[in-house]
Amino acid sequence: MLDIGDLIVVMELAGVFVFGLSGAMLAVRRRLDMFGVLVLAGAAALAGGVARDLLIGAVPPLALSNTNLLAVALASGIVAFFAHGALERIGKPVMVLDAIGLGLFSVASCDKALGAGLGPLPAMLIGVLSAIGGGALRDILVAEVPRVLREEIYAVAALLGAAIVVLGDRLHLPDAPVFVTGAVAAFLLRVVSVWRNWHAPRAPGS
């Protein structure tokens, strides 16, 4: 049977993979060469987790000390390099991959922060920062305003995933269904908001 520690590890690895794909797809679109694709995949895949680990004082960060994370990040770059054509056909691939990573990372990082002894609010913030960090660095590196600022529902979707983890922790619910619910809820809120073209209000008179 799947151990709960394994589940979090699998979610983090899956998040690394999809964020890595999103970075690599963007790099291919910008016609970067193979090494540029790998660097942008690595930055998108690993920066959020590195930020989380620095903020909770877990040094060296998991992304540097655990070979699996690095291998998965490199693999995502290689897959996108060769299969970007197929990936492009699934429609809005950077957005969809990014949304999956958002859900996975907000849950896995919020849980890790709770495990490091942080309170509910700091743990939620670290979940959100970790989920938006990789994508923000990815966009800044190619001189784009990050998605988290341009898009309507983004950080708030990560916040929903992290809030579900904190709520489950408070109510002592079993971890596995809570984690899956949090990740799926964050993903769905993000994707449905794009699909239905939801708008958050702009400042009155701006």
- In the complex, the residues that contact a copy of itself under the rule CB under 8 A are 27-29, 31-40, 50, 54-57, 59-61, 64-65, 67, 70, 80-82, 84-85, 118-119, 121-122, 125-126, 136, 140-146, 148-150, 152-156, 199-206
Nearer CB in complex with a copy of itself: 4/35: 35
Least distance in angstroms from the C-beta of 100 to a copy of itself? 20
The distance of closest approach from Cβ of residue 18 to a copy of itself in the complex, given in angstroms and rounded to an integer, is 18
- Cα separations in angstroms, 9 against 12, 45, 91: 5, 14, 28
Q: Given phi > 0 = left and psi -120 to 50 = alpha, else beta, which region is 161?
A: alpha
| Least distance between a copy of itself and beta carbon 198 (Å) | 10
- For the bound state, the minimum distance from the C-beta of residue 20 to a copy of itself, rounded and expressed in Å, comes to 15
CA–centroid distance for 81 within its chain: 20
- For the bound state, the minimum distance from the C-beta of residue 26 to a copy of itself, rounded and expressed in Å, comes to 10
Q: Which is nearer to a copy of itself, 128 or 174 (CB)?
A: 128
Of 130 and 168, the one with the shorter C-beta distance to a copy of itself is 130
Q: Which of 62, 84, 82, 85 is nearest to 16 (CA)?
A: 62
Q: Would you say 126 or 191 has its CB closer to a copy of itself?
A: 126
CA 109 to chain centroid = 10
Q: What are phi and psi of 89, to 5 degrees?
A: -70, -15
Hey, what are 30's tokens? 């910008």
Measured from the CB atom, the residue of 59 and 176 that comes closer to a copy of itself is: 59
Residue 152 to residues 4, 15, 33, 201: CA-CA distances in angstroms?
33, 22, 32, 9
